[in-house]
Copies of this chain bind each other. A is one copy, B any other.
Amino acid sequence: MSRVVIRNVSVLVVPEHGECRVDDARDILVENGRIVAVVPSASRGAGDFGGVGVEVVDGTGLVAVPGLVNSHTHSPMVMMRGAAEDLAIEDWFNQRIWPMEVNLTPERVRVGARLACAEMLLAGVTTFVDHYFHADQIAEAVIESGIRADLAPTFFSSAGADAIDAAFEQTRELAGRHPRITASLGPHATYTVTDEDLRRAADFGRTNQLRIHLHAAETDDQTQASIDKHRVTPIQVLERTGVLDAGALIAHGCGIRPEDLPILQRYPRTTVASCPKVYLKLAMGEVTPIRGLRAAGVEVGVGTDGAAVHNTLDVWEALRMVALTQKQRENDATWMTLDDTLRLATRGSAAAAGLPDEIGVLEPGRQADIVLVDLSALHHQPVHNPKAVLVYSARASDVVTVLVAGQVVVRDRELTKMNLDEVLADAQALAHTLVDLSRGGAVQNYAP
């Protein structure tokens, strides 16, 4: 039996409804990877939880928050960070990213995923929801680093039926590989995967209890193009192909229209991930309509998308951008409050990761995915409101210690399971190979 106690820590409490709060002077007791109690430090319960073999983490001056979830990303794309700047979405895909991706190899993907896992853990991300090629290599990085992930092997219809079958099988295999790994089917998007292949994915998903993680209604232009070509919105495509019924994680959804909301409302397992830095950077014209989605009961999570456009895998930055851009979108400074934002980034993102009852909240029975954040840093002082710190002034560099499934994977700002120098050296050695455009060709063409 493994036991950990985090002593004398403040704890962010995120109820399903109503105000979040920070309780001071708590002990968090962890047994076999799960939280078994959160009790006042002075109480008997904590005192009893001592003895031989218990790992003690001092939480003095720190606030424990549920491990952050990056609810939509393409982790190996850290290898292309900064290599596709100041471009609109069409050129970003067609001039840079898809031509670069002809260079992907299993080794390059593994090296990128290791770098991404290191960056995320050090920034307090304990779970990431990934969508990429060579996902078996990403699984290796997950297992090594100690992070948790949901992995979706990406496929296009243009790759052909055999490749799609292989992606399906790989998804099924990944789902059983490791306790910290779940898997989802990964059709790329409604505009790169045919209705027939979406239907096959939905059938395979229902049969094997696998969700479907894909891009849909990324922009309103995409929605309009779908209506023009097919007379239905991308969300309607997902409904008629059975994807919503199988359970979907929809990336972005900035082009979700009001008429899509009653459809989404009928599928409680379907969720949406919002990555607003990207929508502004690519000038996509809209952000995710979170207010409408939440009113329809749809769970929404926070993500970064790949670092080839977001430039970081920093979920603190992402959740702040959600708060800011949602206030702007709704022209309402009293919406997406501190409480709304923290709930979205914890419970919402847990749902988007397909783990609504396992992670996202620090309470007994949940996975011990816990991040300890330093509130004593100069740039938070004075702390009139710790929730405001978490949403509006926290930096990834304020993360001190990170537990995933009860294991300390970052201690005092250092990774415990990876050799950072080796991770960096490997990434730097291969970086040039990923951005090489000399081979010509592209893995796909953007023409939604």
Q: Which residues of A contact B (CB under 8 A)?
A: 78-83, 85-89, 92, 115, 118-119, 122-123, 277, 279-283, 285, 311-314, 321, 323-325, 327-328, 330-334, 337-338, 378-385, 387-389, 392-393, 395-397, 420, 424, 427-428, 431, 435
A48 shortest CB reach to chain B, Å: 35
Give chain A's interface secondary structure class: helix
Docked-complex contact A280 and B312, CB < 8 angstroms: no
Q: Which residue of B lies closest to A311 (CB)?
A: B392
Stoichiometry (number of copies): 2
Seed contacts A81-B383, A82-B385, A282-B327; 13 additional CB < 8 Å A-B pairs: A81-B388, A85-B338, A86-B333, A87-B333, A119-B378, A281-B324, A281-B333, A282-B333, A311-B388, A312-B392, A314-B379, A381-B431, A395-B397
Query: CA separation between A90 and B425, bound complex, in Å?
Result: 53
Docked-complex contact B384 and A83, CB < 8 angstroms: yes
Query: CA separation between A424 and B396, bound complex, in Å?
Result: 21
Interface centre among A87, A313, A327, A427 (most CB of B within 10 A): A327
With A280-B324, A384-B82 known as contacts, the answer to whether A118 contacts B378 (CB < 8 A) is yes
Query: CA separation between A84 and B169, bound complex, in Å?
Result: 52
Query: CA separation between A80 and B387, bound complex, in Å?
Result: 14
Docked-complex contact B382 and A330, CB < 8 angstroms: no
With A283-B331, A331-B285, A378-B118 known as contacts, the answer to whether A83 contacts B311 (CB < 8 A) is no
For the complex of A and B, 5 pairs with smallest distance between CB atoms = A382-B431, A82-B388, A311-B392, A397-B397, A82-B385
